[in-house]
Copies of this chain bind each other. A is one copy, B any other.
Amino acid sequence: MKRLHVLAATIFLSLNTFGQTKEDSIQFNKISTEILNNGKAYNELRDLTKNIGHRLSGSAAYEKAVQWAAQQLRDAGADKVWLQEVMIPVWERGKESLQIKTNTGKWKSLKMLSLGNSEGTGGKDISGEIIMVKSLDEYEKLPAEKVKDKIVFFNYPFSQSYIETFKGYSDAAKYRVNAASLTAKKGGKFAIIRSLSSAFDDVPHTGAMRYENDHKIPAVAIGSSVADELEILLKSQKVTAKLNSNCGMKGEKLSHSVIGEITGKKDKSVIVVGGHLDSWDVGEGAHDDGTGIVQSIEVLRTFKKLGIQNNHTIRVVCFANEENGVKGGIQYGKTAKENDEKHLFAIESDAGGFTPRGIALEMDETKRKQIQSWKPLFLPYGAYDFENKYSGTDIYPLKDMGVPAVELVPDSQRYFDIHHTEEDTFEKINRRELLLGATVMTQLIYMVDKNW
């Protein structure tokens, strides 16, 4: 008898769940059909990348992007669009060159990029003998006198062994962040790093570095094949490097994040969806993070287009200055706290516009399990992985305030071939992959808005 009771209860629950699941499943299909057929994210991204291009914080292009984003949000049907003031650092690159000289006595130019936030040589030549280390361990063991007046070449390879390339990136990131300070500590003149790149080519990758103190020497990156060639040269001879660069910090400036929202029909608690509007100053900032911007706008447009009643306010935030300061994200969190705005949920897309594979969830276990229970709805759209526990860089201030925070998890295989390089262009975007990412984001927000 007990068995039968259990069976009856199970059937009842199944029917109930089935009814709800069916309704949600129909809505999921409407969202996907709308976005895959009529989505504007791809064409918007073409406009952003080709007509504005890269848009580093503080640049004229970034200010153009601010106006552009505000207009897109209005066009997408936002009830309200505004700019949020934020003080951002201004870093400029300027002209730069790295040359090496071997036994032949001739100088040869290497393809290079100064790392973001690095000071330059002030337009003067700085030169010295290159010494190479393959790891931090090896560097730690070097006595200071062996480093003094030298150029330190950190030739740490990006690990190919991880399946998720973000792990390889995290593993190697300390070299980019710390190379200059480590070199300065032992009296070296400047640092060269092997790029944080999963590709085997000559393309240099920039990205943020940090100084530990006021002794600020330059740091530059070279592509992985250039690093390999340099390693071979160094095995047989002395190699001298000469750097001439003009980059450096040029103070701060008032700029803006761009915000647009559709007002909640039941209450004004906020669901944030966003990416960062700035990019590095090379390539077109397509995957990083033009895709996050146009996907977030697509979410808003789709709610309006399909006439989905949003219980809560759905707010798109195009964050300023993620790349070299996260000032936009920090300011957003601060303002939310000051205004005592209730935030229900935040989702960020900042891992490239590739085919989606899941959602990373950073929140209490009850809410986490609830979202994980929706997995069967997402499976037909290729999102199956709800196991990661992290969220995005721009929404961490919200996360730290206790807001459930998530990040779209796209396939990561191609990202670090082009990340922070000249190659991060619109041509590297696939329309369907980009739109599927926007689809999964919209579906998740639909579920959160309905159930929370």
Contacts and interface: CB of A to CB of B under 8 A. Distances in A.
Contacts of A436: 163, 413
Interface in A19-59: 32-33, 36-37
A430 B430 CA distance: 14
Interface stretch (A95-103, A317-325, A380-388): A380-388
Interface residues of A, number: 27
Interface string A175-211: 0000000000000000000000011100000000000
A327 interface: no
A357 interface: yes
Given A384-B385, A414-B432, 12 more contacts: A32-B163, A33-B161, A37-B161, A163-B382, A200-B431, A355-B355, A355-B411, A357-B382, A411-B411, A413-B432, A413-B436, A417-B430
B37 A163 contact: no
Interface of A: 32-33, 36-37, 160-161, 163, 165, 198-200, 355, 357, 380-382, 384-385, 411, 413-414, 417, 430-433, 436
A219 B118 CA distance: 60
7 contacts: A36-B160, A163-B382, A199-B431, A200-B431, A355-B355, A414-B432, A417-B430
A36 B161 contact: yes
A418 to B, nearest CB: 10
A430 B428 CA distance: 11
Nearest to A43: B200
Contacts of A433: 413-414
